[in-house]
């Protein structure tokens, strides 16, 4: 018997959504071994208290039950013993997200953070995991997909897997079910994608495009020494979007129609969304999974870990995810500029950018970004989107100031060399120090304004240095995401000063924007629109109705607040010019054009 911690997981009852998890510890702390379940999962910065899903837990030594005392919300202590302890837990799993654990009669999925207890003081011990098959007949034909190293298991099969330590054990999500699998090599490193459930997709094309994408990323920062495999785990339901990064894999969710069918050609906007998501999570295998903030080395999975650097890890990743699609030749430059225009649009529609800086947004991720309420558009700014624009501004600023000698690519390579390859982690002031050092000038003023200030970024001026023109216009519909020039001659709808969304089939004022007509009219978030000017106001007719009035006209608005029918008057105004699109300046000089080509092609 080895000294490894031996874990077993078995989907015990698909109908009741219960896993049974066992853990045997050969040499427990003789004073009474403490066990813990994480309160949060790396990559998703919110306290989730996974221990709340433990339905039953007991301990045995030598086949006899021993006392297990609960210490706090997520820790237990076994009675003192010198013998091996086996812990047996039943865990409820019905969170079908990339950060949860789920089990039903169609599949099983889990993150280790949700189901595996750690052995306090022995987190560095190797972990073996025996993945067992469910008994139910509906699970016949299910296969196992995980990036965890196989010990005696065949590929995509049940059996024993192994991880170097607890942190690695919980860094390999596992999907078990009917899988469509595609495999490809990138620079000799085996890669795979496993898609869950019923799908009919052009797998050869997806593999080809992912290979092109991963190759471009590997070209950029080089393959990490221990990157000997990589797996994309994908769930594609009717609707949904999201991902979670890991060192050797990622879990992705995208809408089914984001994936190409056989016979389809060209990159649709939907497929571009999927490729952007895959690109984002793949870049994370460097930026956050290996190169990380010092406070994450190691992760404290009990409490919140505060850093002002989330913008570096999510914002810069959001900048490169789309840029790499262009650099890899998967999308043309116009398509990339459209995506950048959409990101700019999201930022300038967030009034909260005048209230919160990205440094504050990073620090308060736990309570603000991850716990957004209806006031979020007025109060906070996303460190993803504004972080991406800071990255773009900084990249172009470095390029123009150095005459093309220096770029954000160089900064990232330098950060990777310093902190990505070791265990130290990036100190809070590290990123700015590297920029200043490489640029040979103090960039403190830029960073104070961009990171710690709430003013506008000089992005328009920076885009001009690469011959890209910046335009603002009014939104043409409730769902206009920006990025494209206005098409057609239709009038633009007047502005309510609210974000309207459809909830339960009803047109709802999901957010009321500070200083806008809805706020002046006394509308609250959650109010449900009924009628405007005597005619029903619905998701289907909303844009058309808002085109039919004159600006400044006082209109009767009827709405429900809870079950109270209420009436107010609202004065609609012209929509603000808060929708951005970018275009290429055809008259730019040769040096400018060369700078743009360098930006969109170099690595
Ligand atoms: Zn991310």
Tell me the per-residue pLDDT of 225-249, one tens digit each, with 9 for 90 and over: 999 999 999 999 999 999 999 999 9
Q: How far is the CA of 46 from the centre of ligand 1 (A)?
A: 14
Q: How far is the CA of 176 from the centre of ligand 1 (A)?
A: 24
For 170: left if phi > 0, alpha if psi spans -120 to 50, otherwise beta; the answer is alpha
387 near 314, Cβ under 8 Å?
Answer: yes
Q: How far is the CA of 210 from the centre of ligand 1 (A)?
A: 18
Q: How far is the CA of 31 from the centre of ligand 1 (A)?
A: 41
Q: How far is the CA of 360 from the centre of ligand 1 (A)?
A: 18
Q: How far is the CA of 573 from the centre of ligand 1 (A)?
A: 37
Give, in order, the Cα–Cα distances in Å from 377 to each of 354, 424, 454, 499. 11, 36, 14, 9
Pairing between β-strand 535-536 and β-strand 554-561 as defined by DSSP bridges: unpaired
For the stretch 414-457, pLDDT in tens is 999 999 988 889 999 999 999 999 999 999 999 999 999 999 99
Q: How far is the CA of 583 from the centre of ligand 1 (A)?
A: 27
Positive or negative, the CA dihedral 275, 281, 286, 292 is: positive
Euclidean distance between CA atoms 478 and 493, whole angstroms: 9
Residues of 495-527 as b/e, b for ≥16 C-beta within 10 angstroms? Answer: bbbbbbeeeeeebbbbbbbeebbbbebebebeb
Positive or negative, the CA dihedral 534, 538, 540, 542 is: positive
pLDDT for 198: 75
Q: How far is the CA of 81 from the centre of ligand 1 (A)?
A: 43
Q: How far is the CA of 57 from the centre of ligand 1 (A)?
A: 34
Q: How far is the CA of 316 from the centre of ligand 1 (A)?
A: 9
Pick the closest to residue 324 from 291, 289, 279 (CA basis): 279
Cβ neighbours of residue 544 under 8 Å, at least 6 residues apart? 493
Q: How far is the CA of 456 from the centre of ligand 1 (A)?
A: 24
Q: How far is the CA of 175 from the centre of ligand 1 (A)?
A: 21
For residue 577, how many other CB atoms are within 10 A of its CB? 13
Cβ neighbours of residue 106 under 8 Å, at least 6 residues apart? 138, 177, 178, 197
Q: How far is the CA of 600 from the centre of ligand 1 (A)?
A: 21
Euclidean distance between CA atoms 84 and 6, whole angstroms: 11
Euclidean distance between CA atoms 61 and 463, whole angstroms: 67
pLDDT for 603: 59
Mean per-residue pLDDT over the chain, rounded: 96
Q: How far is the CA of 177 from the centre of ligand 1 (A)?
A: 26
Q: How far is the CA of 12 from the centre of ligand 1 (A)?
A: 33
Q: How far is the CA of 217 from the centre of ligand 1 (A)?
A: 15
Q: Is 510 helix (H, G, I), strand (E, B) or coil?
A: strand
Q: How far is the CA of 43 from the centre of ligand 1 (A)?
A: 7
Q: Cite the beta strand spans of 138-255 per DSSP E.
A: 143-146, 149-150, 159-163, 174-177, 179-186, 189-196, 230-235, 241-245, 249-254
Euclidean distance between CA atoms 276 and 282, whole angstroms: 10
Euclidean distance between CA atoms 492 and 488, whole angstroms: 10
Can you list the residues of the chain whose pLDDT is less than 50? 1
Map tokens 């339905």 to a residue.
Answer: 55
Pick the closest to residue 142 from 10, 259, 274 (CA basis): 10
Q: Give the residue ranges of DSSP H helices in 371-429.
A: 376-379, 385-401, 408-415
> What is the maximal distance between C-alpha atoms in the chain?
82
For residue 131, how many other CB atoms are within 10 A of its CB? 22
485 near 342, Cβ under 8 Å?
Answer: no
Can the peptide bond before residue 102 be classed as cis, meaning omega within 30 degrees of 0? no
Q: How far is the CA of 487 from the centre of ligand 1 (A)?
A: 33
Q: How far is the CA of 281 from the centre of ligand 1 (A)?
A: 6
Euclidean distance between CA atoms 348 and 326, whole angstroms: 24
């Amino acid at each position: 018997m080895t000294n490894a911690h031996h874990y077993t997981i078995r989907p015990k009852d698909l109908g009741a959504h219960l896993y049974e998890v066992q853990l045997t510890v050969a040499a427990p702390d003789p004073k009474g071994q403490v066990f813990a379940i994480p309160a949060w999962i790396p990559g998703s910065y919110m306290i989730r208290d996974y221990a709340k899903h433990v339905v039953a837990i007991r301990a045995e030594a030598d086949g006899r039950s021993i006392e297990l005392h609960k210490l706090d919300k997520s820790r237990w202590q076994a009675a003192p013993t010198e013998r091996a302890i086996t812990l047996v837990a039943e865990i409820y799993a019905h969170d079908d997200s990339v950060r949860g654990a789920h089990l039903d009669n169609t599949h099983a999925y889990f993150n280790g953070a949700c189901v595996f207890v750690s052995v306090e003081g022995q987190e560095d011990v190797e972990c073996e995991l025996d993945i067992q098959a469910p008994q139910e007949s509906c699970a016949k034909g299910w296969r196992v997909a995980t990036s965890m190293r196989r010990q005696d298991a065949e590929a995509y099969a049940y059996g024993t897997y192994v991880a170097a330590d607890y942190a690695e054990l919980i860094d390999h999500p596992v999907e078990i079910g009917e899988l469509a699998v595609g495999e490809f090599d990138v620079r000799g490193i085996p890669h795979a994608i496993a898609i869950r459930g019923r799908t009919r997709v052009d797998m050869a094309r997806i593999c080809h495009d992912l290979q092109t994408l991963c190759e471009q990323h590997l070209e950029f920062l080089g393959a990490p020494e221990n990157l000997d495999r990589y797996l994309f785990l994908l769930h594609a339901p009717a609707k949904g979007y999201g991902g979670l990064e890991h060192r050797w894999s990622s879990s992705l969710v995208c809408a089914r129609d984001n994936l190409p069918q056989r016979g389809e050609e060209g990159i649709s906007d939907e497929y571009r969304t999927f490729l952007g998501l895959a690109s984002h999570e793949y870049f994370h295998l460097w930026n956050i999974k290996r190169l990380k903030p010092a406070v994450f080395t190691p992760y404290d999975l009990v409490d919140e870990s505060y850093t002002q650097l989330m913008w570096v890890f999510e914002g810069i990743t959001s900048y490169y995810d789309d840029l790499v699609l262009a650099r890899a030749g998967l999308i043309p430059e116009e398509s990339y500029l459209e995506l950048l225009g959409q990101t700019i649009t999201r930022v300038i529609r967030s009034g909260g950018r005048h209230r919160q800086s990205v440094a504050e947004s990073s620090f308060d991720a736990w309570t603000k970004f991850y716990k957004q309420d209806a006031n979020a558009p007025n109060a906070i700014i996303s460190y993803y989107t504004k972080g991406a624009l800071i990255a773009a501004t900084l990249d172009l600023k470095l390029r123009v100031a150095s005459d093309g000698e220096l770029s954000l690519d160089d900064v990232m390579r330098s950060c990777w060399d310093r902190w990505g390859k070791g265990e130290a982690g990036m100190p809070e002031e590290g990123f700015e120090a590297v920029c200043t050092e490489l640029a040979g000038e103090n960039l403190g003023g830029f960073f104070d304004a961009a990171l710690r200030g709430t003013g506008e970024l000089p992005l328009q001026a920076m885009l001009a240095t690469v011959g890209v023109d910046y335009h603002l216009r009014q939104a043409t519909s409730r769902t206009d995401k920006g990025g494209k020039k206005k098409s057609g001659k239709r009038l633009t709808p007047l502005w309510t000063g609210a974000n309207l969304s459809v909830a339960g089939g009803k047109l709802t004022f999901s957010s009321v924007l500070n200083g806008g007509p809805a706020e002046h009219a006394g509308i609250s978030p959650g109010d449900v629109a009924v009628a405007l000017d005597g005619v029903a106001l619905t998701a289907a007719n909303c844009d058309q109705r808002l085109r039919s009035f004159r600006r400044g006209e006082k209109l009767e608005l009827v709405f429900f607040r809870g079950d109270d029918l209420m009436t107010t008057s609202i004065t609609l105004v012209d929509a603000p010019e808060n929708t951005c699109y970018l275009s290429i300046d055809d008259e730019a000089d040769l040096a400018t054009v060369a700078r743009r080509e360098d930006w969109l092609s170099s690595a």
